[in-house]
Amino acid sequence: MISRRGFLGLLLVAGCGVEVSGERLASGLPLPPKFARPLVLPKTAQPTSPGRYVVTQRPARMEIIPGTTTEIWGYDGTWPGPTFDLRRGEAAVVTIRNELTVPTSTHLHGGVTPADSDGYPTDLVVGSVRPQHAHGGYTLHDRTKDYVYPLDQPAATLWYHDHRMDFTGPQVYKGLAGFFLIRDDEEEKLGLPAGDRELPLMICDRSFEADGSFGYPALDPTLLLRHGVRPEFMEGVVGDVVLVNGVPWPYREVEAVRYRLRLLNASNARRYRLALRPGGSFTQIGSDQGLLERPLTRDTITIAPGERYDVIVDFADYPVGSHVTLTDLLGGDVMRFTVTRKARDDSRVPARLTNPQPVDDPVARRTFDFRVDDGAWTINGNPYLPGRSVAAPRLGTTEIWRFASDFHHPVHVHLGRFKVLGREEQGWKDTVDVRPYETVEVAVRFDGYRGRYMMHCHNLEHEDMAMMADFDVV
């Protein structure tokens, strides 16, 4: 599946400290100017009755590159999909209707969700074409499925996205992703910046064909018959346009006050090392799974696919009229803020954000080795096989999971929340960027539900090419 030469060449480059992940896919049209269009915020999902939502997956056309339109596949025909803005413990039932050609599975990333609503890759909602390749063991729902989200978990920035077996990469790339925010009383009491001073920012990259359509190196562009990408993109698909909430290199006017930025890397394979230009720092208040115990000042934030960072930026540190660029030290600019005027700021960033949440004594240790093996992306030497379970942690316990790798693998665990041991990351997380030839240990706790869940690499091309494994919470 991968040319040995291409892969080894990449490892050599990575070894020299240059960070690349896959080949960059060049667009076939002139790239749009930077900072020319305003940031757009996704609309908020509205219930049809209390706690009930209906979302229709359908194609739509969007003007992403000025002067041309792009077909997207979106939740309610939008990209990003509607933002769910809900409170802890307020259960939601989301009916997904599939009006696409392809089957889908919807996963709430970071959610403590019963297994049958977790978006298992072969638990599919069928669209207008019945899948040819679906073998035994697939569950097929005709057009709709109700996903139940109890949301009994602390305030956090979650996101939802497609999780179809073998095709997650191209289907997320087409637009099947959105924010899912959980709020709670504890967070609300803090007095953090809120309202229009709270910005969810979905950062991702894409490439465009000359006709404006998304460029993706799928072996089968219909995504119906055959999965996979052209061999030179096996390491992951990286585009040459960086977008925030679906707008290429947008700008946003801000007042000279504190803002809360909920950063999400929704890219298939690209990592960012975010910094502010001309200077300044981020105050990190939250991680994947919610608030940190106390705020942390960071000059840069390295964010891998699937990760979230919740940060405060105080634009009062910059003179009115200045431009503050959110830039990526690994690849170029992302977006720009323009400080327009002074304003009153009643927000606070308290020194203590949440109660200490110590890690329990682990009851087991397991090692998972993420590497390329015989042309496939594997975990402990095996490509993904639905139903083959690699671990059976007990509900309510903590285990040490040790991830080893040969490459950059952003490892994500469903259901469990973990603390990364011996590295700079703070707080509870669900995704950790395991670096080439690194071994990372996490203390992962399984709460919520028994059942079949999964872990996988969140480089979506690796995921689609089998770097995934099931585990059973018992």
Binding site for Cu ion (CB under 5 A): 109, 409, 414, 457, 459, 462
Binding flag, residue 462, ligand C2O (CB under 6 A): no
Measured from the CB of residue 149, what is the shortest distance to ligand C2O in angstroms? 15
Minimum distance of Cu ion from residue 163's CB (angstroms): 8
Q: Which of residues 278-317 bind ligand C2O (CB under 6 A)?
A: 306
By C-beta, is 207 or 431 nearer to ligand C2O?
A: 431
Which of Cu ion, ligand C2O, none lies near 457, with the C-beta cut-off 5 to 8 A by kind? Cu ion
Q: List residues bridging with 123 in a β-sheet.
A: 139
**Residue of this chain nearest to ligand C2O (CB atom):** 109
Nearer residue to Cu ion within complex by CB, 262 or 409: 409
Contact flag: residue 109 with ligand C2O (CB under 6 A): yes
Residue 306, binding choice from ligand C2O, Cu ion, none, Cβ under 5 to 8 Å by partner class: ligand C2O
* Residue (98 or 289) nearer to Cu ion, CB: 289
In the chain, DSSP finds a helix count (H) and a strand count (E) of 4, 33
Token look-up 């960086």 returns 242
Output the smallest distance, CB 362 to Cu ion, in A.
22
Distance CA 284, CA 446 (A): 25
> Closest distance between Cu ion and the C-beta of residue 462, in Å?
3
Nearer to ligand C2O, 260 or 414 (CB): 414
Judged by beta carbon, residue 270 or residue 336, the one nearer Cu ion is: 270
CB-count burial class (<10 Å; 0-12, 13-18, 19+) for 361:
exposed
Alpha helices in 322-364 (DSSP H): none
In angstroms, give the least distance from the CB of 168 to ligand C2O: 8
CB of 155 to Cu ion, least distance (A): 18
3-state SS, residue 111: coil
236 binds ligand C2O (CB under 6 A): no
* Residue 161 touches ligand C2O, criterion: CB under 6 A: yes
From residue 64, alpha-carbon distances to 61, 67, 72 in Å are 9, 9, 10
User: Of 25 and 177, which has the nearer Cβ to Cu ion?
Assistant: 177
Cβ 309 vs Cβ 266: under 8 Å: no
Instruction: Restricting to residues 406-425, name those near ligand C2O by CB under 6 A.
Output: 412, 414
Q: Least separation, in Å, of the C-beta of 412 and ligand C2O?
A: 5
Q: How wide is the angle at C-alpha 40 spanned by C-alphas 38 and 41, nearest 5°? A: 150
Q: What backbone phi and psi angles, to 5 degrees, belong to 187?
A: -70, -40
List CB contacts of 247: < 8 A, sequence separation 6 or more: 37, 38, 39, 40, 64
SS3 422: coil
**CA atoms of 175 and 60, how far apart (whole Å):** 10
Give the count of residues interacting with ligand C2O (CB under 6 A): 9
Closest CA to 287 of 194, 357, 236: 357
| Binds 227: which of Cu ion, ligand C2O, none (CB < 5-8 Å by kind) | none
Tokens read off for 413: 């665990």
- Closer to ligand C2O by CB, 339 or 413: give it: 413
Q: Is 80 exposed, middle or buried (0-12, 13-18, 19+ CB in 10 A)?
A: buried
Considering the complex, state which of residue 164 and residue 462 has its C-beta at the smaller distance from Cu ion. Answer: 462
Q: Which of ligand C2O, Cu ion, none is residue 207 near (CB under 5 to 8 Å by kind)?
A: none
Nearer to Cu ion, 32 or 110 (CB): 110
**Least separation in angstroms between CB 414 and ligand C2O:** 6
Which of Cu ion, ligand C2O, none binds 409 (CB below 5-8 Å, type-dependent)?
A: Cu ion
Binding mask 115-154 for ligand C2O (x = CB under 6 A): ----------------------------------------
404's CB contacts (< 8 A; 6+ apart) are 367, 368, 369, 370, 371, 434, 438, 439
DSSP string, 206-267: E-B-TTSPBP--BSSTTSSS---B-GGGTT--EESEEEETTEES-EEEEESSEEEEEEEE--
Least distance between Cu ion and beta carbon 12 (Å): 18
Secondary structure element (H or E) that encloses residue 473, with its range: strand 468-473
Q: Which token pair is 74?
A: 């979106």
Instruction: Quote the tokens at residue 421.
Output: 């041991």
Q: Is the Cβ of residue 171 or residue 459 nearer to Cu ion in the bound state?
A: 459
Considering the rule CB under 6 A, would residue 163 count as an interface residue with ligand C2O?
A: yes
Give contact residues for ligand C2O (rule: CB under 6 A): 107, 109, 161, 163, 306, 412, 414, 456, 458
